[in-house]
């Protein structure tokens, strides 16, 4: 039977991670524990530990009753009891299809989690609250915000950043494009900002909306004024996309938008080269208009948005990767993360998001490990 305190030591290959047991006087390995000390300091302690592989530890963990007694009538240590509960929870999530094994970039192990219901989330939060102190060096949300988030993000505190990096480095099991072993694998990437003129209809609408809304803004203050400014910005983005989007029309589409005309020019070049593209927009309505326009031109397309079920989402990805359609329309929120779409050699951001990092994540659906052709991103 397992005894002592325990903590999981991860590895770049998840199945090679080990459960470290200490506090029993046995073992020949060493593990460094990190604890919070005060508001900003960390305390480290090197302990002798016995290491068990996941395959060895899992059956033992699943057999533990946290309320039972261990050797010599000793109660099961709280940390070990928590890891036993975590193992049970993990197996339960796998059995219910909430946690699925998959393969990450380069053939490494990975896990896909979700969707989790309210009961799952409540159970996981309760479980996390009972983890041993060595797993809580960052503290709870309020402590983390005060000790890490504010110093690092707001004040750019180099010391706080270094402490945080030291603490989480063992858990950042990911590869970056800048890593020396990865960068040579990726093809050249060209990013282009395309400036296009508005059509006469767009100019008229633009000026009318600005004039009307600015008059309303001048008569307001406080939160109402801020709300009108946001409403104006949204309206102008929609007008620049296409008048039909702002006016909530279904057509006609051709000849009314400078941006749509530029989209057609770019698309013709891409299709002439036998290549494919991803088109991101933050507006589902605009994506529907683009799909309608492509259908009218006889160009096949796929469309992924937040209302697409998980199974259909996977089917759409497989269809695009298999080359069944040259254009994949994606809403920025639904398709901006968690997908691998390396068949595309072009990414178009039809409208721009305020946070460039979100756009970068979306672009990386195609420009990622596995992409082997010259790549272009246009916005």
pLDDT at 70 over 50: no
Residues 241 and 265 in one domain: no
Contact 116, 98 (CB under 8 A): yes
Nearby residues of 35 by Cβ (< 8 Å), 6 or more positions away: 42, 43, 44, 45, 133, 134, 137
Query: Which has the minimum average pLDDT: 145-159, 250-264, 346-360?
Result: 145-159
Question: Do the domain assignments include residue 165?
Answer: no
d(CA 297, CA 26): 72
Question: Do the domain assignments include residue 38?
Answer: yes
Contact 278, 346 (CB under 8 A): yes
pLDDT at 107 over 70: no
Helix (H, G, I), strand (E, B) or coil at 349: strand
Q: Which CATH number does the domain housing residue 328 bear?
A: 3.40.50.300
Question: Do the domain assignments include residue 172?
Answer: no
User: What is the tally of structural domains in the chain?
Assistant: 3
Of 243, 324, 320, 255, the closest CA to residue 286 belongs to: 243
d(CA 44, CA 162): 15
Domain range spanning residue 371?
183-195+259-378
d(CA 364, CA 342): 9
Residues 191 and 207 in one domain: no
| pLDDT tens by residue, 299-345 | 999 999 988 888 898 899 999 999 999 999 999 888 877 788 889 99
* Pairing status of strand 346-349 against strand 375-378: parallel
């Amino acid at each position: 039977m397992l005894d002592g305190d325990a903590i999981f030591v991860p590895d770049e290959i998840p199945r090679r991670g080990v459960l470290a047991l200490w506090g029993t006087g046995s073992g020949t390995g060493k593990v460094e524990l990190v604890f919070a000390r005060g508001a900003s300091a960390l305390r480290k302690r090197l302990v002798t530990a016995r290491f068990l592989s996941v395959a060895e530890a899992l059956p033992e963990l699943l057999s533990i009753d946290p309320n039972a007694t261990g050797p010599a009538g000793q109660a099961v240590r709280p940390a070990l009891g928590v890891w036993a509960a975590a193992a049970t929870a993990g197996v339960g999530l796998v059995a219910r299809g909430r946690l699925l094994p998959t393969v990450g970039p380069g053939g490494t192990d990975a896990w896909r989690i979700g969707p989790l219901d309210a009961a799952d989330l409540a159970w996981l939060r309760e479980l996390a609250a009972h983890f041993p102190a060595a797993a809580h060096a960052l503290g709870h949300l309020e402590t983390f915000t005060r000790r890490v988030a504010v110093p690092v993000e707001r004040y750019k505190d180099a010391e706080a950043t270094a402490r945080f990096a030291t603490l989480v480095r063992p858990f950042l099991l990911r590869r970056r494009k800048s890593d020396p072993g990865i960068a040579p694998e990726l093809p050249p990437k060209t990013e282009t900002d395309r400036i296009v003129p508005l059509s006469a209809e767009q100019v008229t609408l633009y000026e009318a909306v600005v004039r009307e809304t600015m008059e309303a803004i001048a008569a307001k203050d406080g939160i109402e004024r801020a709300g009108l400014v946001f409403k104006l910005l949204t309206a102008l983005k929609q007008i620049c996309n296409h008048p039909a989007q702002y006016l909530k029309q279904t057509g006609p589409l051709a000849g009314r938008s400078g941006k749509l005309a530029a989209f057609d020019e770019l698309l013709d070049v891409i299709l002439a080269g036998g290549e494919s593209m991803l088109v991101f927009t933050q507006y589902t309505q605009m994506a529907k208009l683009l799909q309608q326009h492509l259908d009218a031109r006889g160009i096949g397309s796929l469309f992924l948005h937040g209302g697409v079920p998980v199974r259909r989402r996977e089917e759409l990805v497989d269809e695009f990767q298999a080359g069944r359609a040259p254009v994949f329309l994606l809403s920025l929120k639904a398709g901006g993360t968690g997908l691998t779409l390396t068949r595309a050699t072009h990414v178009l951001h039809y409208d721009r998001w305020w946070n460039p990092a979100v756009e970068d994540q979306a672009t990386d659906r195609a420009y990622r490990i596995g992409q082997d052709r010259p790549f272009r991103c246009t916005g």
